[in-house]
């Protein structure tokens, strides 16, 4: 009996450690969904708790990253509708998306690095401004490297919806980032 | 096809998700429409920029620590508490303080001795160089000649083993410096790669898989029949694997899943 319990504990421990590999990815998604950094942390921690409680439902050999992301998104969705504590397009404050400014400014490096930080800041701002229905596909496909099929599974919607929302989401991002980003042609035109 | 109809297909094309039929009809439209060609290029640039911005965001170390110490996630850490209560519960109230002191002494003394004698795992200790280097506190002689780095490092260990000489140019990373570190009498060769793709440290030393930190996550690569151990320390991600008698650790601030994939792609089965 004690042996069985020990084996189950070891299995759960191994599962949790494997899940930890996806911590940065989960935080990245949570960071762009939650309103505050501490809420993003809470969201990710709770995702791990839920995942561990349901680890027997995970099929070994399948995509753990997608499985965890689905848990995180469902958790976010539940909480957003319950508490309205998360970001929506109408509910954005400038100071919430200052992660990049808060990063230590050690080794500022060449100008291109500084510009990259500015661009990254603006991308974070932009993502927090677009409606959640468009933001989630952009986060999953562009930041999470998920296929349309995987994103559709995570968001529980048809692939066609992913495609159209992604297209719309990127359009909104382009509009927001127009002063900061563009093709070589456009940048040279602006000069 | 109209430009409005092309818009969603452009998105799918950027993501390599367009069906063959869609691709061919879109390509025909693109040949004639400069505006949509421009939109395609713009969307590709945007996707890359968003991806790049995401890579710069990493979980804070306090979150990592909170998860690792959360008994709901790693219940092993809460077990001693449960057992302690189990043991004390049947003992009469009056006897509890005496039993508690005795148990504390019985537990604390060996623990103290163990803590004193147990040194930090070599894999964790080695990662200190990463932080020192980024802070400019690690004196290294830089060179752009990768052969020179390999020769210097190999000479430093009398030719007993060689540093892992990975070609990371595809990631826009080049070897910039090499150094030798000695921890607990064991020599560790460190090759440093830097470039637009970030910074990667490659540690090589003689050892076994037991050198992986005890809390590392183990992954078995069935195609290579090799184990890979993923762990983090001080905000740096690391992946350890063994090739014969040689241990290799790749360390970087890049996301763990990408570092793991890199280690798996570069590792050669013994």
Q: Do A48 and B73 count as a contact with CB atoms less than 8 A apart? A: yes
Confidence of residue A86 (pLDDT cuts 50, 70, 90): very low
Tokens of A73: 């998104």
Calculate ∠ Cα B45-B51-B56, nearest 5°: 125
User: Quick one: fold of A1-87?
Assistant: Rna Polymerase Sigma Factor; Chain: A (1.10.1740)
Chain A to chain B Cβ contacts (< 8 Å) = 154
Of 1.10.3680.10, 3.10.105.10, 1.10.10.10, 3.90.79.10, which CATH number belongs to A109-191? 1.10.10.10
Residue range B207-218: mean pLDDT, rounded = 88
Q: Do A167 and B50 count as a contact with CB atoms less than 8 A apart? A: no
| pLDDT value for A69 | 96
Candidates A186, A86, A75; CA nearest to A135 is A86
Q: Do A20 and B217 count as a contact with CB atoms less than 8 A apart? A: yes
Residues of A in contact with B43 (CB under 8 A): 170, 174
In CATH, what is the architecture of B122-266? Answer: 3-Layer(aba) Sandwich (3.40)
Contact call for residues B67 and A20 (beta carbons, < 8 A)? yes
Q: Per-residue pLDDT for B119 more than 70?
A: no
Q: Which residues contact B95 (CB under 8 A, 6 or more apart)?
A: none
Distance CA B189, CA B151 (A): 11
Residues of B in contact with A116 (CB under 8 A): 52
Nearest-neighbour CA in chain B from A112: distance (Å): 10
DSSP state of B121: P
Q: Is the ipTM of this complex over 0.85?
A: no
| pLDDT value for B167 | 81
Q: State the best of A72, A127, A170 to mutate against chain B, taking most chain B CBs within 10 Å.
A: A170
Domains of chain B by residue range: 3-55, 61-117, 122-266
Q: Considering only the beta carbons, identify the residue of A49, A171, A183 that sits closest to B38.
A: A183
Q: Considering only the beta carbons, identify the residue of B52, B73, B257 that sits closest to A65.
A: B257
Contact call for residues A127 and A138 (beta carbons, < 8 A)? yes
**Minimum CA–CA partner of B214 in chain A:** A17
Residues of B in contact with A137 (CB under 8 A): none
Residues of A in contact with B213 (CB under 8 A): none
**Minimum CA–CA partner of B216 in chain A:** A17
Q: Do B74 and A16 count as a contact with CB atoms less than 8 A apart? A: yes
| pLDDT value for B85 | 35
Write out pLDDT tens, residues B126-166.
Answer: 888 887 777 776 666 666 677 777 887 888 888 888 888 78
HSE value, Cβ hemisphere, 13 Å, CA-based, for B10: 27
Write out pLDDT tens, residues A123-156.
Answer: 988 998 888 889 999 999 999 999 999 999 999 9
Q: State the best of B26, B48, B50 to mutate against chain A, taking most chain A CBs within 10 Å.
A: B50
Residues above pLDDT 70, as percent of chain A:
70
Confidence of residue A113 (pLDDT cuts 50, 70, 90): very low
Q: Per-residue pLDDT for B214 more than 80?
A: yes
The pLDDT mean for chain A works out to 77
Residue A46 or B234, more confident:
A46
| pLDDT value for A1 | 54
Residue B243 or B157, more confident:
B243
Q: Considering only the beta carbons, identify the residue of A12, A18, A170 that sits closest to B43.
A: A170
The pLDDT mean for chain B works out to 79
Nearest-neighbour CA in chain A from B160: distance (Å): 33
CA torsion B38-B44-B50-B51 (nearest 10°) is -170
Q: Which residues contact A83 (CB under 8 A, 6 or more apart)?
A: none
Q: Which residues contact A31 (CB under 8 A, 6 or more apart)?
A: A37, A40, A99, B57
Instruction: Tell me how far the alpha carbon of residue A138 is from its chain's centroid.
Output: 9
Candidates B230, B235, B237, B267; CA nearest to B255 is B237
DSSP state of B65: H
Q: Considering only the beta carbons, identify the residue of A22, A41, A49 that sits closest to B257.
A: A22
Q: Considering only the beta carbons, identify the residue of A9, A21, A116 that sits closest to B75.
A: A9
Domains of chain A by residue range: 1-87, 109-191
Residue range B66-95: mean pLDDT, rounded = 56
Confidence of residue B203 (pLDDT cuts 50, 70, 90): very high
Q: Do A24 and B255 count as a contact with CB atoms less than 8 A apart? A: yes
Residue range B201-213: mean pLDDT, rounded = 91
pTM of the model: 0.59
Q: Considering only the beta carbons, identify the residue of A65, A167, A183 that sits closest to B11.
A: A167
Lowest pLDDT segment from A95-104, B116-125, B146-155: A95-104
Nearest-neighbour CA in chain B from A142: distance (Å): 5
Tokens of A66: 């997608």
Q: Is B42 exposed, middle or buried (0-12, 13-18, 19+ CB in 10 A)?
A: buried
């Amino acid at each position: 009996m004690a042996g069985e319990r020990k084996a189950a504990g070891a299995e759960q421990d191994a599962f949790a450690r494997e899940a930890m590999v996806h911590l940065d990815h989960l935080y990245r998604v949570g960071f762009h969904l939650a309103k505050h950094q501490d809420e993003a942390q809470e969201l990710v921690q709770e995702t791990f708790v839920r995942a561990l409680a349901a680890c027997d439902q995970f099929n070994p050999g399948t995509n753990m990253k997608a499985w965890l992301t689905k848990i995180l998104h469902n958790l976010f969705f539940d909480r957003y509708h319950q508490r309205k504590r998360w970001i929506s397009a109408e509910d954005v404050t400038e100071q919430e998306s200052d992660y990049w400014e808060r990063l230590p400014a050690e080794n500022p490096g060449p100008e291109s690095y500084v510009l990259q930080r500015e661009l990254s800041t603006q991308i974070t701002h932009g993502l927090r401004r677009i409606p959640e229905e468009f933001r989630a596909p952009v986060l999953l496909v562009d930041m999470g490297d998920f296929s349309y099929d995987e994103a559709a599974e995570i968001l529980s919607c048809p692939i066609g919806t992913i495609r159209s929302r992604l297209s719309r989401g990127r359009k909104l991002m382009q509009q927001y980032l127009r002063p900061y980003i563009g093709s070589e042609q456009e940048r040279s035109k602006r000069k | 096809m109209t430009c409005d109809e092309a818009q969603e297909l452009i998105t799918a094309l950027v993501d390599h998700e367009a069906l063959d039929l869609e691709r061919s009809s879109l390509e025909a439209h693109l040949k004639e429409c400069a505006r949509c060609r421009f939109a395609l290029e713009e969307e590709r640039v945007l996707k890359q920029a968003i991806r790049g911005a995401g890579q710069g965001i990493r979980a804070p170390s306090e979150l990592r620590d909170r998860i690792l110490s959360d008994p709901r996630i790693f219940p092993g850490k809460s077990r001693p508490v449960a057992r302690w209560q189990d043991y004390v519960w049947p003992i009469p109230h009056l006897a509890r303080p005496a039993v508690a002191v005795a148990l504390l002494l019985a537990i604390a003394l060996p623990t103290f001795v163990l803590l004193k004698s147990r040194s930090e795992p070599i894999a964790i200790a080695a990662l200190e160089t990463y932080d020192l280097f980024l802070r400019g506190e690690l004196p290294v002689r830089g060179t752009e000649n990768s052969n020179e780095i390999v020769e210097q490092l190999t000479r430093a260990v009398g030719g007993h083993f060689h540093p892992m000489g990975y070609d990371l140019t595809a990631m826009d990373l080049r070897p910039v410096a090499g150094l030798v570190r000695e921890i607990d009498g064991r020599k560790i060769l460190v090759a440093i790669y830097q470039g637009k793709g970030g910074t990667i440290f490659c540690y090589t030393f003689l050892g076994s898989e037991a050198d992986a930190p005890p809390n590392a996550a183990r992954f078995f690569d069935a195609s290579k029949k090799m184990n890979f151990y993923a762990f983090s320390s001080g905000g740096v991600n690391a992946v350890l694997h063994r090739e014969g008698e040689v241990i290799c650790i790749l360390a970087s601030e890049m996301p763990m899943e990408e570092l793991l994939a890199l280690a798996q792609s570069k590792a050669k089965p013994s």
